[in-house]
Amino acid sequence: MSTPSDKALVPFVSVDNMMRLVHHIGVEDVLRDLAAYIEADFHRWELFDKTPRVASHSDVGVIELMPTSDGEAYGFKYVNGHPKNTSEGLQTVTAFGLLADVYTGYPVLLTEMTILTALRTAATSAMVAKHLAPKGSTTMAMIGNGAQSEFQSLAMKAICGVDTIRLYDKDRAATEKCAANLAGTGLKTVICTSPEQAIEGAHILTTCTADKQNATILSDNMVGAGVHINAIGGDCPGKTELASGILERSDVFVEFPPQTRVEGEIQQMSEDFKITEFWKVLTGQTPGRTSERQITLFDSVGFAIEDFSALRYVRDKVKDTPYHYDLDLLADPDDPRDLFGMLTRAKT
């Protein structure tokens, strides 16, 4: 049997190799690099082919495809969301992604994206906070200490200069896990026993809890002036974390409005609730933070362009490392019209 041609082989990054790649570069450097790739793609937001994710819902969860393209590369992510999985020892969210060449339609990278999504979500949060949080922000409240919490904390350190994380979770074991994981990273962690205690003195308030319900993790009277709220956990219909009064007092920044109005914190608000597309802050079309006392709020749900940036990054970084191997994913007969002949010859 003849060996497949180069073009028929697709570089694959397994979970194991993704972890090796991340340690090879260094976690904080990866977060900084990802933030730079994402910021660059937000700058050229208008040229992307944008579509809300394509979702297949069931009683217990959702499976989504998130495609986008910049005209040269095409990327998509497969991601599921099954809140009940945790109780069965499975991940709530797993993901993988693919990057392809628009000119040929041939895939050029297949990669795990569970870890990569955690990294790109944190890098996006910190990139946005760098532009919107009060100058000199050094303390973050981290409410919800699940799978995303350490990534958020390290990204805020690497990109915004945060040095102290005030941790709270209704499950104390989650907080202890997070504090233990952050030991030795250079971050000071403070274990708190209530959300109120966690936000004391914090400049950045990050909410990232997992319950699929309209919860009130932050109530209106808890949030004072001059903070940046990084709202991660409200990310699908029926799942929000903030009291609507907070949204009314904040300047709200979003990724892609058609998706955020359905999935984000602003699903609680009227359809004409005023929001700002964050990419317009980067391009200078709209102001970001304009006063010290302002409350800025990033209502993040995760958008396909962030995954695209992450796929570009992995493609660029992995190629000169051993952290990938080739998959024989594409049939590539010598004569493109002779697929059947290739099949027949494989018999011998």
Which of 169, 235, 299, 307 is the catalytic position? 235
The yes or no reply on residue 323 touching a copy of itself (CB under 8 A) is: no
Half-sphere exposure of 230 (CA within 13 A, CB side): 34
Q: Do the Cβ atoms of 73 and 100 come closer than 8 Å?
A: yes
* 100-159 binders of a copy of itself (CB under 8 A): 100, 102-107, 112, 114-115, 118, 145-147, 149-151
List the one residue out of 344, 324, 273, 346 whose CA is nearest residue 9: 324
The yes or no reply on residue 6 touching a copy of itself (CB under 8 A) is: no
List the one residue out of 126, 67, 132 whose CA is nearest residue 276: 132
Q: For the CB of residue 254, give the shortest distance to a copy of itself in the complex, in Å.
A: 23
The yes or no reply on residue 88 touching a copy of itself (CB under 8 A) is: yes
Q: Do the Cβ atoms of 96 and 110 come closer than 8 Å?
A: yes
The yes or no reply on residue 211 touching a copy of itself (CB under 8 A) is: no
Q: For the CB of residue 222, give the shortest distance to a copy of itself in the complex, in Å.
A: 24
* 26-45 binders of a copy of itself (CB under 8 A): 27
From candidates 25, 32, 92, 262, binder to a copy of itself by CB under 8 A: 92
The yes or no reply on residue 194 touching a copy of itself (CB under 8 A) is: no
The yes or no reply on residue 318 touching a copy of itself (CB under 8 A) is: no
Selected range binding a copy of itself among 68-76, 123-131, 224-232, 235-243, rule: CB under 8 A: 68-76
Residue 235 annotated to the active site: yes
From candidates 42, 96, 279, 308, binder to a copy of itself by CB under 8 A: 96
Q: For the CB of residue 326, give the shortest distance to a copy of itself in the complex, in Å.
A: 10
The yes or no reply on residue 337 touching a copy of itself (CB under 8 A) is: yes
Q: Which is nearer to a copy of itself, 225 or 339 (CB)?
A: 339
Q: For the CB of residue 163, give the shortest distance to a copy of itself in the complex, in Å.
A: 19
E strands, 70-224, in order: 73-81, 95-101, 107-112, 139-143, 164-168, 188-191, 204-207, 214-218
- Helix-helix angle 114-132:15-25, to 10 degrees: 40
How many residues touch a copy of itself under the rule CB under 8 A: the total is 81
From candidates 98, 127, 199, 304, binder to a copy of itself by CB under 8 A: 98
The yes or no reply on residue 177 touching a copy of itself (CB under 8 A) is: yes
Task: Tokens for 36, please give them.
Answer: 């730079």
- Sign of CA pseudo-dihedral 63, 127, 164, 292: negative
275: Cβ contacts below 8 Å, ≥ 6 apart: 252, 253, 254, 257, 260, 266, 299
The yes or no reply on residue 74 touching a copy of itself (CB under 8 A) is: yes
Per the listing, tokens 């190799």 go with: 17
The yes or no reply on residue 338 touching a copy of itself (CB under 8 A) is: yes
Q: Do the Cβ atoms of 205 and 143 come closer than 8 Å?
A: yes
Selected range binding a copy of itself among 34-42, 198-206, 221-229, 339-347, rule: CB under 8 A: 339-347
The yes or no reply on residue 212 touching a copy of itself (CB under 8 A) is: no
List the one residue out of 155, 138, 145 whose CA is nearest residue 181: 145
The yes or no reply on residue 25 touching a copy of itself (CB under 8 A) is: no
List the one residue out of 40, 42, 48 whose CA is nearest residue 72: 48
The yes or no reply on residue 52 touching a copy of itself (CB under 8 A) is: no
Q: Which is nearer to a copy of itself, 94 or 216 (CB)?
A: 94
- 173's enclosing H/E stretch is helix 172-182
List the one residue out of 138, 156, 314, 160 whose CA is nearest residue 232: 156
Catalytic site residues? 235
